[in-house]
Structure 1
């Protein structure tokens, strides 16, 4: 899509006239109506915009909005992928607390909680969503007045205030790789981040990404013009934001700053100046730390509704705004077909990542991500040993803890976690992360199968509040012990293999697995017992450990167990997915069972439709023989 200079100038001038801060002062003696609230969102783009100082970006409409509104210097999406981020927005509760952190999962909705449109509708708002929902929680009844591509605030009853979302997908990950495409932004002028190799493919993808952000900006300009044409600019609070970092690899799906930081511009008309925060000045920049979990309580606060106590976010605007928070929190769970568990915290300068499965690299083979040229060339150069250490780190196991200084290392490539001079900072952020897990009763420490089967049909948010069902402290302590990789913890991990709780035993096995040859042989007898555990997740983890570090006899037995667990016809998708992830970790060791897996792959198209089916098929496809056309 072309963006001629004349059109950009016209759009800029149009928005300047629409949003000029020349509104008459509100009449304090007359009753004031509730504000309309308009959210303009775009997918898969970070702060690569002019209003954030990026001179390479072409974003005149949002830049103009920023001259009349307040730009938030540091906003996080909490999750680096769309469905989990959107689930955070719609509830004001962390998905790690509701069990909805995993990409496109479907979890029972907690009783006693509502999605924010339901609360706004009770407050008299007409609520529309155009058009994406895609939450990881079951919807609790009717949520929107209208949710469809036709949804629009103009269809509301006369004089009713509205809340409306317009979500643009033109900057989504798929737009980076859509071909043919005539580039508008010059690839030669791209700044390639330190973690990416500097190749023509990478430069092309980055330039095409900038093109797609410009398209999203144009759509935002259309929505603002629509509002002005209806004479509603002075009556409407406007948010513009992205749903997580860019769609480029090691932004999307990665829970560091490059995956979580989003643009956020808020315009509050003069009529509603009492709803502005103290730092609000047209064209100003707020240093307040905000994140998606704060958006729902902020909406309610703007509408004059006190946020309910169960919301875990903090209102940063409106009648019920709260003091600034010292930290923001992020998370990563299952990304499509690949399992992971990362928790992140930042104070705005330093970013701390806690990798609870450090033996798995950040760059796991996610089929959808590998459709992007940058991912493929990056992997090929890794295989050819042609990357710098900063570029190669994405494809290797991680340290249990990572710490980055965004002031000196904005690309997050120099891990300071082991540096002596940063130990106090690391300890402060680690303590904040642990306190957050405790305060929210983080259920992400349950393997996904256990999350659904521990109390079938009951919301994880609900059962987590019963320590008899979810002994959080025991599970969390074992996960910490397992993943910090201290060799001295091996005897304690072996002892915990006999715990009465499935997930304690699961983490004890993972602790031995992560210690490789030091852990497997030491706990071999207990691991052999664990092959017959009542929990399939424990059995799978024990089988992987013994296949890697047990005897030849162990290997034969465990490969048979993993092949049976991977059968997609024998159980719901979660157990085969866990087994196939373990099998992939084995690499060449799993060669004897490849024919069995290939047979599963050949019949996977006959499986009944399911929310997880595509992910299961992606895992099985790696074992399907290539088609004849692929060999030519």
Structure 2
């Protein structure tokens, strides 16, 4: 049997011992990493919960699959969903004869696009309950006379914030789960945050939620073993986006998208630290490869814009299986970059950005750069943000607040010299060749993925392709120039 267990933490950054974390205790996840492969350079496409989960479950970036923002929230102000035509992992695996299921956090929709056979959605942080429901799923599979393989997704709520100003769900005790309190004075403040009392207080609570989630993973894996499936199940553990703090979650800076990824393949070499760059769009192709259906990754996806043949480009998933490189401990030239896409968090948090990340450089294209960078509601109300904005320095880590809120149309960072992405080199004459190369590569990717946010003269070329083909002249620039509105010298004659 070729079973799959996908485990997704909520808002967990590189906060595991295997990532180099020395303050937070994560013995069970570190043990899982020691039994399999840890990808040290794994990147989410986007840094928002629903969007990232949709990428994992579809193998498509958010601007391809339609889940460009949060599915829903307690305010009820947003309801972004995946396109009806998208083939998700439950749909694909149902078709090839798997029993599919999801337990605890789901956060993608609509249900018709994600037709899991077994669905137990919950907002509980009771990780013992989650393990119990997984045990029930495994028992059901074992009792099935057809003996079909399974694909189960388990989505933890931890370590996401709760609905208080600085809490992470640690106010409640759960039977069989140990609570570990951390001293705010002893936490390690990451470089993307400022060291102030409010940040330390929230980090201590965040650490406790990670400890609870780590216990839950141990319980879950124990149930997998008890059910007799430890040796025939591909186990993947990851997170949806980085920590729930400003300068991380909802941004495409590395703090928001550079995440842990642990892969345990039965019989594979243990304890591998893999340095190759992989993307979350590679996860579904990996699952299909493991199941013996790699050919489904080449199945054409539905057309953008309702099926216009004129818009046909690379009409397949961009991801690829990382099973062939699972045991690599050196870098491979063909695994040296990733792309990403963010458009909305909440309905009111609009800031479309696309990124290219190589080993050394990070390039951001901020499409609506004239807007202030928006705050997710839970981060704006957080004690940590209040503490940083009212501190004497008024900084977010090494970044000024002005630098965080007001960004240019392009950002280029040399990550060797500037790992926190603070010094924007986009206008540096010495880096113009690199900038132009990154811009070209990103735009080629936008076109290959049929990105509606491929803008020229302040408008999406995807919405006016027919006018361009009819001879309309269009200036070759990102934004509309109010001081030079003429288009008579326009040079754009293409949309692809």
Match of 1:233 among 219, 230, 234: 230
Q: Does 1:115 align with 2:115?
A: no
Decide whether aligned partners of structure 1 residues 42 and 98 sit closer, same or farther in structure 2, where only a CA change above 3 A counts.
Answer: closer
Q: Which residue of 1 aligns with 2:198?
A: 201
How far has the Cα of 1:215 moved from its partner?
A: 1.5
Match of 1:307 among 290, 296, 314: 296
**Higher helix fraction: Structure 1 or Structure 2?**
1
**Higher strand fraction: Structure 1 or Structure 2?**
2
How far has the Cα of 1:241 moved from its partner?
A: 0.6
8 Å CA contact 1:346–1:429 kept in 2: the answer is no
How far has the Cα of 1:69 moved from its partner?
A: 0.3
1:411-560 alignment runs, 5 A limit: 411-444=420-453, 467-468=465-466, 480-482=477-479, 489-490=481-482, 492-495=484-487
Q: Which residue of 1 aligns with 2:343?
A: 333
Q: Which has the larger radius of gyration?
A: 1
1:267-346 alignment runs, 5 A limit: 267-270=264-267, 273=268, 281-305=269-293, 306-309=295-298, 310=300, 311-318=316-323, 324-336=334-346, 337-346=348-357
1:77-476 alignment runs, 5 A limit: 77-104=44-71, 105-107=79-81, 109=83, 111=85, 113-135=86-108, 138-140=110-112, 143-149=115-121, 150=133, 152-156=137-141, 157-158=144-145, 159-174=147-162, 177-178=167-168, 184-270=181-267, 273=268, 281-305=269-293, 306-309=295-298, 310=300, 311-318=316-323, 324-336=334-346, 337-362=348-373, 364-381=374-391, 386-387=394-395, 390-444=399-453, 467-468=465-466
Decide whether aligned partners of structure 1 residues 375 and 39 sit closer, same or farther in structure 2, where only a CA change above 3 A counts.
Answer: same
Q: Which residue of 2 aligns with 1:23?
A: none
How far has the Cα of 1:368 moved from its partner?
A: 2.7
Considering only aligned residues, what root-mean-square deviation do their CA atoms show, in Å? Answer: 3.5
8 Å CA contact 1:246–1:252 kept in 2: the answer is yes
Bigger relative contact order, structure 1 or 2 (CA pairs below 8 A, ≥6 apart)? 2
Q: Which residue of 1 aligns with 2:6?
A: 39
How far apart in 2 are the matches of 1:116 and 1:190? Answer: 38
Equivalences, count: 433
Structure 1, unpaired ranges of 5+ = 1-33, 274-280, 452-462, 484-488, 499-503, 505-632
8 Å CA contact 1:341–1:357 kept in 2: the answer is yes
How far apart in 1 are the matches of 2:340 and 2:416? Answer: 19
Decide whether aligned partners of structure 1 residues 169 and 470 sit closer, same or farther in structure 2, where only a CA change above 3 A counts.
Answer: farther
How far apart in 2 are the matches of 1:319 and 1:403? Answer: 32
How far apart in 2 are the matches of 1:317 and 1:246? Answer: 25
8 Å CA contact 2:243–2:249 kept in 1: the answer is yes
2:22 partner SS: coil
1:444 partner SS: coil
| TM-score scaled by length of structure 1 | 0.62
How far has the Cα of 1:126 moved from its partner?
A: 0.8
1:249-274 deviation line (CA, Å, top 9, x unaligned): 2111111111111110000111xx5x
Decide whether aligned partners of structure 1 residues 302 and 206 sit closer, same or farther in structure 2, where only a CA change above 3 A counts.
Answer: same
How far apart in 2 are the matches of 1:474 and 1:335? Answer: 34
8 Å CA contact 2:138–2:227 kept in 1: the answer is no
1:261-290 deviation line (CA, Å, top 9, x unaligned): 1110000111xx5xxxxxxx3111112211
8 Å CA contact 1:59–1:217 kept in 2: the answer is yes
Decide whether aligned partners of structure 1 residues 198 and 327 sit closer, same or farther in structure 2, where only a CA change above 3 A counts.
Answer: same
Q: Does 1:70 align with 2:37?
A: yes
8 Å CA contact 1:194–1:390 kept in 2: the answer is no
8 Å CA contact 1:72–1:265 kept in 2: the answer is yes
